[in-house]
Amino acid sequence: MSVTITVNGKAMDVEPGLTVDGLLTLLNVKREYTAVAVNREVIRKSAYGTLKLSEGDKVEIVRPMGGG
Amino acid sequence: MYDTNLVLGGKEFTSRLIVGTGKYSTLPIMRDAHEASGAEIVTIAVRRVSLPGTGESILDYIDTKRYTLLPNTAGCYTADEAIRTCYLAREAGLGELVKLEVIGDQRTLFPDVMGLLEATKTLAREGFTVMPYTNDDPVMAKKLQDAGAACVMPLGAPIGSGLGIRNPYNIKIILETVTVPVIVDAGVGTASDAAIAMELGCDGVLMNTAIAGAQDAVSMARAMKLAVEAGRLAYKSGRIGKKLYATASSPLEGLPDWTS
């Protein structure tokens, strides 16, 4: 059993009950200067450990890039 | 000569040049160009992390103790997208100073001023220090100020065009219309363009491509630093009026008589 979520536009099968924190660890993403939105809502860092991802969730993980 | 500092969101800046972090050929060149520019504020974009997230970060090349980061909303076409991008930036720990762009057209990258005004209102209410990229339109500049913008940033010419300050008269009228700082954002191609903006009385200039795209980005960054300082100093010094005919610089009296 797994749930399918979309992370930065790509489909991904993950374990049920995976938290945002768990996802970041799984993807080896540094926490510093990183932000996460789930289904268009920006997630507070304090909620990373408790927010569980569900089937169909759209996750965006962003950080600073070069720009003007 | 005595000069005041540029104040944005209660923070004071000595440098009046704001530079970008995009389009540099390498990150070490970007770092050296930032150094040469003397800038204290650098713009950044907020984009998807490449996954897995092991790649190098642009922030490895920006000393965040020294530079104030200015996240932008480039690429946003609606107020909603721009507002959410600012929330992301704040949650990422990039602060509350934001360069607000709501783009209205892909080819010109001209702003959608209706969306811009809406986003400015919301973000100012939410405690952001909003720096909106706008048209060279004095009426819109005033509306943005009234909506809570910390400054207004009219374009000199389209983003990345290098066409310079296309409508100095409108920029001048904006300067007479608003009390918040006026920062020319976009259009600068070379040092004289930056100097012209500052000579008009602008409070600052923001540029990315003019430096990053130059053959020698580091020396162009220094040229821009000098141009912004020279333009500012010339403005503060009070230039002479323009006249159609000559006025001699040397005394007309006391000329030797060479007639025979």
What are the φ and ψ backbone dihedral angles of B85, each rounded to 5 degrees? Answer: -65, -40
Distance, in Å, from the CA atom of B77 to the CA atom of A35, rounded to the nearest integer, reads 21
Q: Regarding predicted confidence, which is higher, B134 or B1?
A: B134
Distance, in Å, from the CA atom of B120 to the CA atom of B153, rounded to the nearest integer, reads 13
Phi-psi region of B241 (alpha: psi -120 to 50; beta: other; left: phi over 0): beta
Partners of B72 on chain A (C-beta within 8 Å) are: 67-68
Partners of B87 on chain A (C-beta within 8 Å) are: 42
* B150 three-state secondary structure: coil
The chain A residue lying nearest B43, using CA atoms, is A68
The residue type of B38 is G
Distance, in Å, from the CA atom of B233 to the CA atom of B228, rounded to the nearest integer, reads 9
User: For this structure, is B99 an active site residue?
Assistant: yes
Say yes or no: A46 contacts chain B, CB-CB below 8 A: no
Mark yes or no for CB contact B45/A33 under 8 Å.
Answer: no
Q: Does position B87 have pLDDT exceeding 90, yes or no?
A: yes
Angle of helix B168-177 versus helix B138-146 axis, rounded to 10: 30
H/E segment holding residue A26? helix A20-26
Q: Does position B88 have pLDDT exceeding 90, yes or no?
A: yes
* B211 three-state secondary structure: helix
Q: What distance in Å separates residue B207's CA from the closest CA in chain A? A: 7
Please report the pLDDT score of residue B53 as a whole number: 72
Please report the pLDDT score of residue A1 as a whole number: 81
pLDDT in tens, B99-136: 999 999 999 999 999 999 999 999 999 999 999 999 99
| Threshold 0.90, pTM exceeds | yes
Please report the pLDDT score of residue B201 as a whole number: 98
The chain B residue lying nearest A24, using CA atoms, is B53
Q: Does position B1 have pLDDT exceeding 80, yes or no?
A: no
The chain B residue lying nearest A36, using CA atoms, is B88
* Mean pLDDT over each residue of chain B, to the nearest integer: 96
pLDDT in tens, B7-42: 999 999 999 999 999 999 999 999 999 999 999 999
Mark yes or no for CB contact A67/B74 under 8 Å.
Answer: yes
Retrieve residue B41's tokens.
Answer: 């504020």
Top residue of A31, A32, A42, A46 to mutate, by most chain B CBs within 10 Å, is: A42
* Mean pLDDT over each residue of chain A, to the nearest integer: 95
Distance, in Å, from the CA atom of A49 to the CA atom of A40, rounded to the nearest integer, reads 19
Q: Does position B245 have pLDDT exceeding 80, yes or no?
A: yes
Please report the pLDDT score of residue B30 as a whole number: 97
pLDDT bracket for residue B52 (50, 70, 90) = confident
pLDDT bracket for residue B56 (50, 70, 90) = confident
pLDDT bracket for residue B2 (50, 70, 90) = confident
Catalytic residue among B99, B121, B143, B225: B99
Q: Does position B54 have pLDDT exceeding 80, yes or no?
A: no
Q: Does position B192 have pLDDT exceeding 90, yes or no?
A: yes
pLDDT in tens, B149-189: 999 999 999 999 999 999 999 999 999 999 999 999 999 99
Mark yes or no for CB contact B57/A63 under 8 Å.
Answer: yes
The ipTM (two decimal places) reads 0.93
Partners of A11 on chain B (C-beta within 8 Å) are: none
Mark yes or no for CB contact A34/B48 under 8 Å.
Answer: no
* A5 three-state secondary structure: strand
